Chains A and B, each alone.
Chain A
Amino acid sequence: MTTDVSTFDADDRGWFGDFGGRFMPEALVAALDELTAAWQEAMADPAFVAEFDAILREYAGVPSLLYDATRLTEKVGGARILLKREDLNHTGAHKIRNVLGQALLTRRMGKKRVIAETGAGQHGVASATAAAYFGLDCTVYMGSVDTKRQALNVARMELLGARVVPVDSGSATLKDAINEALRDWVSTVDHTAYLFGTAAGPHPFPTMVRDFTRGIGDEARAQCLELTGRLPDAIAACVGGGSNAIGLFTAFLGDPDVRIYGFEPGGDGVETGRHAATITAGDSGVLHGARTFVLQDEDGQTIESHSISAGLDYPGVGPQHAHLAKSGRADYLPITDAQAMDALALLARSEGIIAAIESAHALAGAFDVARELGPDGLVLVNLSGRGDKDMETAREWFGLGKAARE
């Protein structure tokens, strides 16, 4: 039995039910229309799709493995756990898929410059990488709070040839970096493409970014069938803006027996107010060009989010996730910092894999699902990124590195 997946998709103006759309200055509408047309033409052009596939295969290490985590399964004590190893991609996360797609489209549109926002620096590094690969000029906006926290990623971007601009306005974090990138874009839109880092923002970004990341789920579904002869009972991904999650979920939306879980950053716990669990605890609103769930105060001012994982620390969420939550097709649940860090350690010690803290949220949630399903169950988790970038956080959290200090 299959479901009509079109009900989960956007209409031609970017509305996923009540969510999405395009709340943008008129000055940018022409550019968004131009981008929409170029993306739709490109996706219908077999040569573009073939070139994208070839670059992913030959440069980015795609398709990533689907790994049967038997020791982890044993430790957790429930359903069999499969890991989609996006951490093994070039630059260490699923994000390379999105930036290579958008940069390839930029080249097709004849633009020579790209801009991007970044929080922890992962999307900035991926954008700088794609810009280097395609020979594009690249400017990355990054909150000044984050440039200080993530000095190594600033250096990476600079080594790749990008210019990094610290943003001091507002809370000087990811949301303000997006604001500043939009301000750049409104003045430079005739020759500049905005490589948006997640499946959020105004139409066509939520759908376009999904198209470039949906290979995660397409591959995982086929790999799972080949490995196990059946579909998983449940799939799981972490959700900040939601690009890795929508990349995994899309292939399974039409499989009604596959339960879909998005795990949100619960920070210190949703009840403390210090979290970034937008769907769990936010309200409908408009942020960065789309109607979606937003962490906001009673006057509609954006509230700063909190998460141990910089990549999930965003007060909005992609509109398709808002729609999947409201329609009931997917469940979104919070995972605290502590739960995520416990999952990170368990995976490291049982399988020798250090996951990104973002991905550890998906793991922690999947452990609960696995226990609920029991030994006959099958859970597929998107391991969206590797944890090298998070070692400083892990060192502090677990009190590691004592030998080095003695």
Chain B
Amino acid sequence: MTGTLEHIIEVRDMVKKFGSFVANDRLTFHVEKGEIFGFLGANGAGKTTAMRILCGLSYPSSGEIMVAGHNVYHEREKIKRKIGYMSQKFSLYDDLTVSENIRLYAGIYGLGRKEINTREAQLLERLGLTHIKNRLIREIPLGWKQKLAFSVAIFHKPAIVFLDEPTGGVDPITRRQFWEMIHDATLEGITVFVTTHYMDEAEYCDRVSIMVEGRIEALDTPAGLKQSYESRNMNEVFLKLART
């Protein structure tokens, strides 16, 4: 997955300061089209801050940043058309039903009624949620909500989907199913940018970057990282990096 592929995200010397605190210290990396890019780091390492900048939710202090061919300084609204986003905080409306949530986000991206109808039916079928499509979100279990939130984030077929700790608080089986869904999304040509602090999940990524105190300390394929840090698994890699 490396080499000559198109760079869908290109970041050079990105800095984000909050007062004197440097949350992102000259980050430089790129994400290739169609890959699963894991953005790892301990709590407070600056993952969410960087992701919010890439999504156009936050202004960078400096640096050159291109997302889906657009500049984050001047073309945020164009970027927003091409991305999906699933936040750490819960992103579906509690007081709307499963179906209403799907139709709301589909409507926001300007999908037509017919298209929404067929794709909603397909989606509910695939998730096995057809029987509860008229239930309120607040009444369904967390695992289902997370899967639904992800499906809603990619309903409009974005070029990139940003997932901010999507599997927090979810049981291992659901996590596994969730990663299958992420993998399926890449088959449809969607690039996945995901933050997590579950190191086993890092193994599913094509490439992984590890942030420590606002800087990217390592960036490679999981196999490459394990080799260079002489570790058996990603957990060891992470511990070695975080301690130094």
A binds B: no
Q: Which residues of B contact A (CB under 8 A)?
A: none
Q: Which residues of A contact B (CB under 8 A)?
A: none
